Structures are given as C-alpha cells and as structure tokens.
C-alpha cells in the first residue's frame, strides 16, 4: 500500500515560511484602515473637546480615560473568547473582526457630531459613552487580528516580517490624519481682508467631521480587502490547530481572568507588557498634548504643525525594515533596545528646543523654526517605530516559550493582556494630561493662551516623553527571551505536529483499507 500524502499544505507542518506576501500586505492594509479611523479619534478628540466644544480638560480627560479603561478590560476577555470560538465558516477570529469593523466605522463618525446646546455634564456623557462604545468595537477588531497575525505563522523571522507589514500600515494610518487634516481644517479658517488667518481651522468642528467620513470610506475598502484575503488562511490555521488540540487544554473565561497575575509571573511577559505599556506613554503624550504644544508653545502655523507631526510619523515607517533586519541578525531584544535609544536621543533634542522656544518662535515666518524642530521629532519617530512591530512579535516568542508548561490556547489572551496594560497606562496618561491642562490654566475653547501656560505645555511634554523612554529601556533590558531557544522550541513543535499529522493520515488509511 502506498503511503498517502499529507493533506493540506505540508509547509504548515515544517519550519518554513509559508505566508504569502499578498496576505501580509492585506494585513498591513487592514491595519491602515483601522488606524486611520481610530487614530483620527485618538489624535484629535482631546483637542476637539477642549478647543472646539469647550469642555474642560479635566472632564475631557476623564471621558477619554473611562472609554480606554473599559477598552482595556475587554481586551483579555475578547482575546479569550476568540481563542475558544469554533465557527465552521469564520474560524476563531473572523466573526469578531467583522463585528468590530462594522461597529468601528459607525461609531467613529457619530462621535464628532456633538449636539449643540448641551450642558457640560451632558457633553461629558456624550464623549464618555461614545468613546466607550467606539473602543469596545476597536477591541472586537484589533485583538483578534493581532492574534491571527501571530498564529498564521510558525517561523521566527516571518512573524517579525508580518508585524513589520502591519506596523507600516498602522503608522501610515496614523500619518494620514496628521498630514491631511490641515487641508480639511483650512477650509473653515477665518481670514481678514488680506487673506491672513485670524482664527485657525482647528477651532471649528466641520473639518474634523469631513475627515471622519473620508477615514471611514478608506477603512471600509482596506478592511474588506484584508478580510477577503485572509479568509483563505482560516482553513489552514484550523487544520494545524486541530492537530495541536491533542496536547492543549481548554480554559474557561473565569480561569483566564484568574490567570492574569499568573501570566505576570513570567519575567519575560512582565518585561514585554510593562515595557511596552510604559514606552507607549510617549506616543500617548504626543497625541494628547502634541497639537496643544505646537499650536501654543511653538506658535506654529497649521501647515507647519502638520508637516512637523507628519515628519515624526513618516520616520516611524522609514525605520520599519531596520527592526526585522536587526532581529534577524541579532535578536528582537537588541532590536527593541536600539530603537528606544534612538528615540531617547530625539526626546533630549526636543527638550533642548523647548529651552530655546522664545528664539525659535521669532523664526516661525521664515520656516527656519520648522527646520530646527523637524530633526528631533524625526529621530524620535525613527526610534519609536520599533514599538509598533517588535512587542507583538515578542509576544509570539513568549507564547512559544511558555507553551512548554502551559498547554492551553492563549495566543489571543496574551495579545489581549499586552494591550490591556498599554490601554490602562494610556487612560491614566490621558486623564493626567487633561487634569494638567486645567491645572496650568489652559483656557478651553480659546485660540489664545498665556505665556506661562504655553511654556508649561511644552515642559510637560518634554519631561514626560523623555522619562518614559528611559524607563522603557530599563524594563526591556531585563528580558531574557533567547533567539536560539525560541527557534529550537518552534522547530520541535513543528516536528511534533508533522509526526501527529503522519500518524493521523496513517490511521485514516488503515480505516479505509
């Protein structure tokens, strides 16, 4: 009797790259659309609430924090639920992704249409409820996508490449609102008879609303494309996971929640989770306070401000090929630390610019100020880009290492745990940012601030981003994930799966005979 060939794609059971580049691109485009929609809200909602709607910084910070905390709590829950979903058509992840995509697009538009004449409390409730619903749909979409992007590959280097594709898409989605929003806002700026801007466009609501509609249209196209392209991977992922079920144990939702502290007992998981959460505070500070700083501390024109922020984000993309290259040559830990050190250099240079702010502001009209401010932000952006690709790839390695002792399916749960910690830190950062705005005397809804308030805005930003990057470097330095060990464990796992597959095929052949 002839030995039957292994059913399905045999590369699934070998230590070889197998994910098509077109599917990597699709995952990147999916993140682009998601990031464009969610990033528009994250980047501008604080400025919109305080500068346009006129809600106090403290109330706006609380509203954002409520939505972010609930979002954080839902991450491990959705991760677990998707881990244990068994749908014949959608697999583990894709039904959750579909629900999240639809809800995300709908709520990201309505959040900008605050009814006129609402009291401060009702306006606060509008933002708190709207952001909570929006971020819940964010979780439904992003957490399953993150888990799927890890489990679709069993190759050490390929996992890093997939996350690099996703990171590029995600960062482009972040850049577009920064670069293009000015065009939408400038249409509504108030000018005098000479055409000079009296009140900048970012103080009016319609520019934000117009852009939100465009963002949703892009998200629909890219999201549907990603969904269709990756749908074909469901069957292959399910086939491999079916073989692994013989050695895996199901866990209940209660057990997942109770095991949270157990996950943190792993030193590597603590380094990844807390290092990522703390380092990303720098990005949250740039988002929540950056436009306030570049509007008032450095007194940039709208176009100059968007060029500056765009330069920062463009460099995060330019650096993406560097991190997989360093990871392949050395390991992910060295790649991570290199990126954070580069980012720290940019933060220190920006601090120097704050000390020279009065002189820099005299050069605004000649654009020399822009030339001075751009390099520090570009250097910081280059280094910070490592945070958009390496941590999730490191989670995949931690899953491999911990699976020696833990046989349950936790890819989605681990990814959810990482974003849980990040979002908790994000919510606290946004809350503190909002409170600080009120504390330093920021006048809501006004296009003019005092010199002291403007200076303090820049000081808070510079101290904050420098401090958290330093702490992030210290934490990631304690990580002990070894490339050689992870590669060996992955190879052993693939060999075991191959052996199980051969036995299964042999058993089927005996039954048929």
Residue spans per domain, the chain: 19-235+263-507
Share of the chain above pLDDT 70, in %: 80
Q: Are 162 and 17 in contact (CB under 8 A)?
A: no
Mean pLDDT, range 12-30, rounded to an integer: 70
pLDDT of residue 375: 93
More confident: 243 or 56: 56
The pLDDT of residue 258: 60
As a whole number of angstroms, the distance between CA 219 and CA 31 comes to 9
482 or 325: whose pLDDT is higher? 325
Per-residue confidence (pLDDT) for residue 253, from 0 to 100: 53
pLDDT at 416 over 80: no
Q: For tokens 């964010």, name the residue.
A: 138
Nearest to 103 by CA among 77, 139, 153, 74: 139
pLDDT at 360: 92
pLDDT(385) > 60: yes
> Is pLDDT above 90 for 492?
no
pLDDT score at 404: 57
User: What band does 7 get if pLDDT is binned at 50, 70 and 90?
Assistant: very low
pTM for the predicted model, two decimal places: 0.66
Distance CA(486)–CA(481), nearest Å, equals 7
Which ranges in 319-410 belong to alpha helices (H)? 322-329, 332-355, 357-361, 368-384, 390-402
- Find the mean pLDDT for residues 94-120: 89
Placement of tokens 């670069």 in the chain = 179
Give me Rg for the CA atoms of the chain.
24
| Residue 507's pLDDT band (cuts 50, 70, 90) | low
The set of residues, in sequence order, having a beta carbon less than 8 Å from that of 379 and lying 6+ positions away, is 315, 342, 343, 345, 346, 349
Say which range, 255-264, 362-371, 416-425, 445-454, has the weakest mean pLDDT: 255-264
* Per-residue model confidence (pLDDT) at position 12: 43
SS3 256: helix
Q: What would the mean pLDDT of 451-458 be, rounded to a whole number?
A: 92
CA distances from 420 to 175, 191, 225, 268, 451 (A): 24, 45, 28, 16, 38
Task: Return d(Cα 447, Cα 438) in angstroms, integer.
Answer: 15
3-state DSSP assignment of residue 190: strand
Q: Is 273 in contact with 424 (CB distance < 8 Å)?
A: no
Tokens of 155: 């190759």
Average pLDDT over residues 131-135: 90
Query: Distance between CA 339 and CA 384 in Å, rounded?
Result: 6
Rounded Cα distance between 8 and 33, Å, is 32
Domain topology for 19-235+263-507: Growth Hormone; Chain: A; (1.20.1250)
Give φ, ψ of 55 to 5 degrees: -80, 145
Mean pLDDT of the chain: 79
Confidence band, pLDDT 50/70/90 cuts, at residue 19: confident
CB atoms within 10 A of CB 446: 12
Report whether 351 contacts 389 (CB < 8 A): no
pLDDT at 219: 92
Whether 358 shows a pLDDT value over 90: the answer reads: yes
Q: Please tell me the predicted confidence (pLDDT) of residue 24.
A: 86
Beta carbons within 8 Å of 135's beta carbon, 6+ residues apart:
67, 68, 70, 71
Most confident of 110-114, 248-252, 396-400: 110-114
Q: What is the pLDDT of residue 16?
A: 41
What tens digit of pLDDT does each residue of 134-148 get?
988 988 888 888 778
Q: How far is Cα 90 from Cα 74, in angstroms, rounded to an integer?
A: 21
pLDDT at position 113, please? Answer: 92
CA–CA dist 429, 221 (Å, integer): 33
Phi, then psi, of 197 in degrees rounded to 5: -75, 125
The predicted model gives 258-277 an average pLDDT of: 73
Return the residue matching tokens 């999201």.
223
Backbone region of residue 67 per phi and psi (left: phi > 0; alpha: psi in -120 to 50; beta: other values): alpha
């Amino acid at each position: 009797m002839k030995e039957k060939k292994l059913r399905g794609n045999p590369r699934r059971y070998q230590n070889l790259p197998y994910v098509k580049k077109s599917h990597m691109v699709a995952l990147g485009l999916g993140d682009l659309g998601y990031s464009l929609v969610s990033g528009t809200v994250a980047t501008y909602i604080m400025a919109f609430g305080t500068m346009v709607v006129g809600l106090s910084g403290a109330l706006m910070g609380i509203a954002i924090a409520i939505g972010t905390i609930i979002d954080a709590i839902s991450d491990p829950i959705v991760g677990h639920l998707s881990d244990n979903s068994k749908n014949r058509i959608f697999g583990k992840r894709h039904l959750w992704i579909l629900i999240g995509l639809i809800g995300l697009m709908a709520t990201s538009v309505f959040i900008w249409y605050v009814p006129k004449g609402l009291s401060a409390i009702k306006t606060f409730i509008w933002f708190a409820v709207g952001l909570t619903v929006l971020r819940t749909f964010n979780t439904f979409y992003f957490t399953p996508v993150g888990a799927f992007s890890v489990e679709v590959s069993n190759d050490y280097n390929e996992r890093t490449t997939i996350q690099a594709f996703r990171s590029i898409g995600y960062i482009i989605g972040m850049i577009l609102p920064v670069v293009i929003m000015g065009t939408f806002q400038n249409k509504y700026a108030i000018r005098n008879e000479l055409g000079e801007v009296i009140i900048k466009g970012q103080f009016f609501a319609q520019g934000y609303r117009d852009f939100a509609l465009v963002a949703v249209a892009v998200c629909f196209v890219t999201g549907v494309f990603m969904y269709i392209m990756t749908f074909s991977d469901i069957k292959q992922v399910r086939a491999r996971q079916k073989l692994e079920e013989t050695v895996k144990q199901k866990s209940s939702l209660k057990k997942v929640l109770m095991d949270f502290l157990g996950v943190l007992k792993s030193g590597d998981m603590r380094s990844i989770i807390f290092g990522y959460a703390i380092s990303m505070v720098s990005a949250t500070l740039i988002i929540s306070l950056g436009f306030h700083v570049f509007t008032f501390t450095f007194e940039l024109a709208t176009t100059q401000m968007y060029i500056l922020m765009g330069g920062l984000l463009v460099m995060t993309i330019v650096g993406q090929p560097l991190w997989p290259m360093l990871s392949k040559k050395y390991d992910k830990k060295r790649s991570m630390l290199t990126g954070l050190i580069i980012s720290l250099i940019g933060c220190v240079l920006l601090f120097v610019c704050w000390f020279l702010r009065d002189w820099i502001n005299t050069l605004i009209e000649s654009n020399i100020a822009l030339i001075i401010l751009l390099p520090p932000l570009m250097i910081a952006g280059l280094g910070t880009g490592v945070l958009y690709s390496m941590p999730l790839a490191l989670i995949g390695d931690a899953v491999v290492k911990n699976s020696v002792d833990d046989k349950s399916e936790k890819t989605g749960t681990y990814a959810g745990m990482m974003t849980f910690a990040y979002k908790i830190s994000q919510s606290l950062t946004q809350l503190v940012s909002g409170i600080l705005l009120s504390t330093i005397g920021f006048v809501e809804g006004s296009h003019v601030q005092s010199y002291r308030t403007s200076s303090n805005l820049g000081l808070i930003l510079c101290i904050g981003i420098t401090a958290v990057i330093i702490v992030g470097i210290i934490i990631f330095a304690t990580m002990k994930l070894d490339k050689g060990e992870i590669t060996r464990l992955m190879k052993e796992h693939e060999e075991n799966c191959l052996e199980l597959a051969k036995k299964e095929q042999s058993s089927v052949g005996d039954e048929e005979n």
